[in-house]
């Protein structure tokens, strides 16, 4: 239980209980919002579903398995960069607070925390996530190994307005890893980074993970693994929508498809209907899907140094350092609010 832990939960932004409404009413409102969002996506010419519905308990476990696949290089490459570069960055940044946006893997978090503990500056860790349960288990996992670290978890959807606890000591290092930014097509990518920049102060830094453009065969394999874990991850979005919205998608009537969109420099994941079908979702008109028609479930944008620089600049941030893994497949950028630029 949350209250067994000396964990400071700061409900912010879209967190259901933040505005004092009863949990039941907040749940109903979130259900209506989810239904409206799914309805809007399915009404498009290119049908789509919001990628956030991948991540129920099973989806999160499948994603964890993806990160361990031989074909899925991003996690491995990002870890290599953190191992190589984080000690020097820690000495340079002297951050007293690490803010981590989203469900980071424990292994990557520890590489960042260890480097800053090594530099002797780290005081506070602020994980930000929509899932209070995830934050609880994160805090529990770190408390034993970092007994002197204050953990101030923030329950918030950082894709909307959010704020940090007032008392976390600067300078802050805001980590946004895993190329999660790639799931946001323009102009949402810049809007998201602007929101992040708005909680940063002069002297703070953003540590941004971005997957890079590369041999299409490498990209293709990463999203079409031989074991079919990514296919199960993709299809699971239908189970989540069935459970959460009472929809009647039949996952066995869809096939996983992932391909590189060369014009837009991104992997797209789709679910292709194996047959003509009708899907019913309470509160929405029936959805007619033709055989061979697809529903887009995710985009995963791929970058180069120029496109990352441009994205940062358009979001009020300046690139101050750039590092890639030895293959040049993934990058970590350090950026600072533009007003802070020397
Ligand atoms: C965690 C969203 C960055 O886009 O590569 C993995 C999710 N999708 N395999 C990505 C994902 C398919 C991943 N992100």
pLDDT at site 28: 80
Give the per-residue pLDDT at 109. Answer: 92
Q: Where are the domains of the chain?
A: 66-214+303-341
Check residue 27 and give its pLDDT: 77
Which atom of ligand 1 sits closest to the CA of residue 67?
6
Compute the distance from residue 300 Cα to the ligand 1 centre, in Å. Answer: 7
Note the pLDDT of residue 13. Answer: 43
Unique residue bearing structure tokens 């890079």: 212
Ligand 1 binding site (Cβ under 6 Å of any ligand atom): 66, 74, 178-180, 182-183, 223, 230, 298, 300
Minimum-distance ligand 1 atom for the alpha carbon of 233:
12
Q: Whose CA is nearest to atom 3 of ligand 1?
A: 180
pLDDT of 29: 78
Q: Within 13 Å, how many C-alpha atoms sit on residue 141's CB side?
A: 13
Ligand 1 mean position, distance from CA 94 (Å): 31
pLDDT for 16 equals 44
The residue whose C-alpha atom lies closest to atom 13 belonging to ligand 1 is 180
Closest approach atom of ligand 1 to CA 51: 2
**Alpha helices per DSSP H over the chain:** 23-42, 57-67, 73-93, 106-119, 132-143, 188-198, 216-223, 229-245, 305-313
Distance CA 244, CA 247 (A): 8
Name the closest-CA residue to atom 11, ligand 1. Answer: 63
Low-confidence ranges of the chain (pLDDT < 70): 1-21, 103-104, 340-342
What was the pLDDT predicted at 160?
Answer: 87
Quote the pLDDT of residue 20. Answer: 61
What sign results for the dihedral spanned by CA atoms 156, 158, 161, 164?
A: positive
pLDDT at 41: 98
Residue 335: name the closest of 312, 315, 301, 314 by CA: 312
- The fold of the 66-214+303-341 domain, in CATH, is Rossmann fold (3.40.50)
The confidence score (pLDDT) of residue 19 equals: 54
Ligand 1: residue of 68, 269, 300 to mutate (most ligand atoms within 8 A of CB) is: 300
If DSSP codes are grouped into helix, strand and coil, which group holds residue 116?
helix
Exposed / middle / buried, residue 196 (Cβ in 10 Å: 0-12, 13-18, 19+): buried
């Amino acid at each position: 239980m949350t209250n067994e832990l000396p964990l400071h939960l700061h409900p912010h932004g879209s967190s259901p209980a933040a505005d004092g409404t009863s949990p039941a009413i907040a749940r109903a409102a979130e259900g209506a919002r989810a239904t409206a969002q799914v309805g809007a996506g399915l009404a498009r010419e290119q049908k789509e579903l919001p990628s956030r519905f991948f991540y129920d308990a099973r989806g999160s476990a499948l994603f964890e398995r993806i990160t361990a696949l031989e074909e899925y290089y991003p996690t491995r490459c990002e870890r290599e960069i953190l191992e190589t570069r984080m000690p020097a960055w820690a000495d340079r940044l002297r951050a007293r607070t690490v803010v981590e946006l989203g469900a980071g893997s424990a292994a990557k978090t520890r590489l960042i925390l260890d480097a800053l503990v090594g530099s002797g500056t780290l005081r506070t860790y602020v994980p930000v996530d929509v899932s209070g349960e995830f934050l609880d288990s994160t805090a529990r996992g770190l408390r034993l190994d970092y007994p002197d670290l204050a953990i101030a978890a923030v329950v918030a959807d950082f894709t909307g307005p959010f704020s940090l606890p007032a008392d976390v000591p600067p300078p802050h290092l805001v980590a946004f890893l895993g190329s999660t930014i790639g799931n946001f097509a323009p102009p949402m990518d810049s809007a998201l980074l602007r929101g992040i920049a708005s909680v940063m102060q002069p002297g703070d830094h953003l540590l941004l993970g971005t997957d890079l453009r590369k041999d299409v065969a490498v990209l293709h394999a990463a999203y079409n693994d031989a074991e079919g874990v990514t296919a199960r991850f993709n299809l699971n979005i239908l189970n989540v929508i069935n459970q959460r919205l009472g929809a009647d998608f039949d996952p066995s009537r869809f096939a996983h498809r992932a391909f590189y969109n060369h014009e837009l420099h991104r992997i797209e994941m789709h679910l292709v209907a194996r047959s003509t079908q009708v899907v019913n979702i309470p509160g929405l008109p029936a959805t007619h899907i033709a055989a061979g028609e697809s529903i887009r479930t995710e985009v995963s944008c791929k970058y180069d140094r120029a496109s990352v620089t441009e994205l940062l600049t358009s979001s009020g941030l300046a690139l101050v350092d750039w590092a890639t893994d030895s293959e040049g497949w993934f990058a970590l950028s350090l950026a600072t609010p533009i007003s802070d630029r020397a």
